[in-house]
Every structure is written in structure tokens, then in C-alpha cells.
Structure 1
């Protein structure tokens, strides 16, 4: 993913910072993991994976 995009996107649930992994963006504050499909982050809380 583009580094400039990562600097401006935040978790839509808690406004925390998102860290990239192989196929997700993981919130450092609440732990929600948002999928990335075709290099496009899907920042929908309903689509996010809850922390274990």
C-alpha cells in the first residue's frame, strides 16, 4: 500500500493508527483488522475481524 495513504487513514471505529500486515490493516488501539483487497483497504467496521 502507498505509504502516504497509510499516513492519513485511521481506524473508523476508534480513530487509532493502522499498521499494515500481509493482507490487513490492524488498528494499534482497538485491534480491529480491516481487509485489504486488490490494494484497496476496506475500512468498514462490519467487515473488520475482531481481535481474538
Structure 2
């Protein structure tokens, strides 16, 4: 958050600002995908209570 505030408040070129914002978006998207991967691996464990609960939904 502080990084985005820095980007928006300081005078840097428009192209650099857009590139940095795009890099931040890609970073957060990658973190989200990795988090989903970790959750799906945890759900694949045999005998997982969470898997049984989710299968009932």
C-alpha cells in the first residue's frame, strides 16, 4: 500500500508509473494463484474434514 501511495504522490514519469502499477498487479495476481494452489493441495489430503464439508455443499 505504501508503495502505491509513493507511486501516486511523487513526480515520476507516466510510463514508469504505469509499468510499476502493472508489475504490482502481476505480483498480486501471482500471489493469489499461489494461494489457491496451496489451498487446493491442502484439500487433496485424504480424510480431510474440509473436503467432506465442501463436498456436501
Q: Specify the TM-score bucket, using the shorter chain as the normaliser.
A: under 0.3
TM-score (norm 1): 0.22
Decide which structure has greater helix share. Answer: 2
RCO comparison, higher one (Cα < 8 Å, 6+): 1
Which has the greater radius of gyration? 2
TM-score (norm 2): 0.21
